[in-house]
């Protein structure tokens, strides 16, 4: 005889792909009926038209099918009522601000910063996050570059996030990365024309009103420079570590040095430098050509007494993957660029938090 307890035990292994918690704990199981060898499971989605409904249905079917005696599984999908979403948000509420900004937070926050735009900071953020995820870490990505948001495109995460009761935002799941960006809230071509207070309010929501869950790392793609968002990040996340991204030119590395000075003044530790567009490797002869010069990142690393974590080459696959939402770390893990991103991720993971 198949028992309800056996079925529920298996359903407890099914994780909601967005909230990363068992569907049994989230109150999504809406009844179990057993008729001989067939089992019917009702599942309530958080919102209608959930893009991951097929994945949930498949996961439930696989989980229940292994119970001895089960010959078939029927999954009936429904939708939570507004009241049920409010209850779920209240249940998740203790996981909110304490996850990232609390003094006793265990989340390792890494701010990827740069002195100026165009140095590949977003590319580094996305690929290092993808590398950490591939290494088995639970990772969130926050796009704090409100004016120049690009993480949503680079990870093909353009759907609007689900909002539960009490304003609790569910980050978009991309291959188990939990992602939030302004690019999910507005049309990609829409300019964001906000002054400082609005930027601070949005950043506060992204940090405190997103159901990040039990992540180990939060990588933040910060806007270039030392403006409003950088100041807000220093206030909200005084224990965050900073990785500076620069190119080989002296001009770029000098400007990046100002970001390091700001981090020092607010007590944030710079843990390393990533040099992007460091060289171009000829596909015919294999020789590396320093198209944008050499020395800037090495000089900055010496001045700051921090390691140069990696030198990323000019690789046509990098911008191509960014436009398609396919990070090179996932699509071409054996490429030279991907190996360097894994090197950077490993260095961050072993940096003694």
Q: Give the model confidence (pLDDT) of 131-190 as tens digits.
A: 999 999 999 999 999 999 999 999 999 888 888 877 788 899 999 999 999 999 988 888
Burial of 190 (0-12, 13-18, 19+ CB in 10 A): exposed
> Is the CATH code 3.40.50.970 the one for domain 4-80?
no
Q: Is the pLDDT of residue 95 over 50?
A: no
Q: What is the mean pLDDT of residues 88-110?
A: 77
Query: Is the pLDDT at 93 greater than 90, yes or no?
Result: no
Task: Assess whether pLDDT exceeds 50 at residue 50.
Answer: yes
How do the domains of the chain map onto residue ranges?
Answer: 4-80, 100-349
Long-range pairs for 9-13: beta carbons < 8 A, 24 or more residues apart: 10/63, 10/64, 10/66, 10/67, 11/41, 11/60, 11/63, 11/64, 13/63
- pLDDT interval class at 194 (50, 70, 90): confident
Helix runs in 95-183, H state only: 97-100, 121-134, 151-154
The CATH architecture that domain 100-349 belongs to is 3-Layer(aba) Sandwich (3.40)
Q: Which of 60-74, 79-93, 205-219, 225-239 ranks highest by mean pLDDT?
A: 60-74
Spacing of C-alpha 158 from chain mean position: 13
Cα four-point dihedral sign 327, 329, 334, 336: positive
Q: For residue 253, what is the DSSP state?
A: H
Instruction: Give the rounded distance of the alpha carbon of 22 from its chain centre.
Output: 20
Q: Other C-beta atoms within 10 Å of 137: how many?
A: 17
Query: Looking at residue 141, what is its pLDDT?
Result: 98
158 CB contacts (<8 Å, ≥6 apart)? 152, 183, 184, 188
In whole angstroms, give the CA distance from residue 148 to residue 308: 26
């Amino acid at each position: 005889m198949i028992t309800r307890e056996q079925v529920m035990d298996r359903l407890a292994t099914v994780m909601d792909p967005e909230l990363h918690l068992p569907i049994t704990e989230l109150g999504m199981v809406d009844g179990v009926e057993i008729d001989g060898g067939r089992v019917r499971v009702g599942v309530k989605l958080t919102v209608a038209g959930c893009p991951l409904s097929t994945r949930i249905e498949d996961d439930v079917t696989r989980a229940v099918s292994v119970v001895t005696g089960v010959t078939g599984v029927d999954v009936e999908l429904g939708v939570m009522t507004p009241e049920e979403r409010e209850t779920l948000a209240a249940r998740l509420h203790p996981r909110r601000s304490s996850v990232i900004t609390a003094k006793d937070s265990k989340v390792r926050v890494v701010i990827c910063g740069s002195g100026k735009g165009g140095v590949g900071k977003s590319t580094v953020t996305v690929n290092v996050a993808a590398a950490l995820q591939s290494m088995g870490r639970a990772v969130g990505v926050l796009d704090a570059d409100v004016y120049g948001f690009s993480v949503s495109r680079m990870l093909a995460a353009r759907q609007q996030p689900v909002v539960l009761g009490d304003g609790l935002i569910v980050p978009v799941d991309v291959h188990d990365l939990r992602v939030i960006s302004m690019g999910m809230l507005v049309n990609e071509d829409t300019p964001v024309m906000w002054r400082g207070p609005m930027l601070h309010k949005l950043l506060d929501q992204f940090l405190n009103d997103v159901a990040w869950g039990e992540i180990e790392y939060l990588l933040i793609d910060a806007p270039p420079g030392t403006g409003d968002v950088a100041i807000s990040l220093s206030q909200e996340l005084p224990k965050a570590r900073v990785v500076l991204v620069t190119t080989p030119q002296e001009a770029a590395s000098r400007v990046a040095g100002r970001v390091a000075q700001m981090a020092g003044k607010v007590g944030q530790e710079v843990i390393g430098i990533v040099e992007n567009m460091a060289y171009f490797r000829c596909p015919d002869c294999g020789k590396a050509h320093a198209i944008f010069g050499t020395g800037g990142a090495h000089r900055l690393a010496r001045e700051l007494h921090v390691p140069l974590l990696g030198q990323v080459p000019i690789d046509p696959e990098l911008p191509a993957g960014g436009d398609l939402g396919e990070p090179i770390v996932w699509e071409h893990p054996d490429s030279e660029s991907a190996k360097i991103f894994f090197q950077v991720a490993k260095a961050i993971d072993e940096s003694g938090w």
